[in-house]
Amino acid sequence: MNDDEPVLLHTEGHVLHITLNRPRALNALTHTMVRAVDEALALAADDDAVTAVVIGGAGGRGLCAGGDIRSIYEDARAGRRASVDFWRDEYRLNARIARFPKPYVALMDGIVMGGGVGVSAHGDVRVVTERSRVAMPETGIGFVPDVGGTYLLAGAPGELGTHLALTGRAVDAADAILCGLADHFVPSHHLADLTAALAGSTTPAEVTDTVLRYTTDAPEGELGDHRAWIDDCYAADTVEEIIDRLVDSGLPAAKETADALLTASPTALKVTLAAVRRAGRLSSLEAALDQEFRVSCRAFTGHDLVEGVRARIIDKDRTPRWSPAEPREVTDAEVARHFEPLGDQELGLASV
């Protein structure tokens, strides 16, 4: 094991440990990392000596903050297509994780955003801690939730998933569990003991029993208290009406949410609403990933992704100049264009 590698692999007992190892970048995913994790899982699936996989992040601040946004920005500005190849392999990895034939334990400690959700929330044993902050924050940079995020959020109770998809809000452990993004709360100071105990697990039942021994009740979340106005406001058919309902509700939390939505990319908001609603009608994660690949490819060639990353990450002036500038200026035709088939460039997971 070379500590300089972006993905570290080691085995303890019968468990393969995968550690994302770019701590200075909050373990943001590169194409090399995606390929390394995918290869490790492919080998582990056929290795009788491996009974479970545990994925975590180096550095103590988070599992993974998402994809390498700077690389995507530079790629888009230069007119290259490396990001499309990255997404193709990343989404295939997400599907592999969801269908992995052995227990896949994701330690979702600290920051878990975007691509970090993709390498964790599709697993079958998802552990959060008091430090967990889980989010799909794409609309703030002119992008749309991907890595199967639209499928996960479409399955959240009521309109909670719509709320999280549009706002990009980070949730804590209890709310991640409420929304179906995680399963178990384990205090962070018990994670080392948990991972050590997992080494002796030889069956899926033993993995589950081991995790349950360290599981306790999560500190109370916030979303449950806001469920009534979230369900009412986000049941609207359009982004414009959602914002109007939030403003007209008379509730400070709803008004603050409306203000937050008005800072996000109008195009991303409208495409995200359509993507989550469509994902809720799809029959599988693979179909949702196929849809997300179409949307990501179209967003990659649009204006707002480059502008959003510039404003939030590169120049950090926090004043993106979205185009169009308001939701009412984003046409239905423009939204529909994001979902059009890609011909021979389709991801094609649902047909495999």
Cα 237 to Cα 246: distance, rounded to the nearest angstrom: 13
Residue from 75, 90, 109, 146 carrying the catalytic annotation: 146
| 256 assigned to active site | no
Residue from 56, 67, 149, 308 carrying the catalytic annotation: 67
Query: For 223-253, b where at least 16 C-beta lie within 10 A, e where not — what string?
Result: beebeebbeebbebeebbebbebbbebeeee
Residue from 75, 90, 109, 138 carrying the catalytic annotation: 138
| 142 assigned to active site | no
Q: Give the Å distances, CA to CA, from 166 to 144, 271, 349.
A: 9, 10, 26
| 158 assigned to active site | no
Residue from 57, 62, 66, 115 carrying the catalytic annotation: 115
Contact of 138 with 69, CB cutoff 8 Å:
no
For β-strands 133-135 and 7-12, DSSP reports them as unpaired
| 138 assigned to active site | yes
CA angle in degrees (0–180, nearest 5) for 44-47-52: 55
CA 258 and chain centroid, separation = 22
Q: Angle, nearest 10°, between helix axes 252-261 and 239-248?
A: 150
The set of catalytic residues is 67, 115, 138, 146
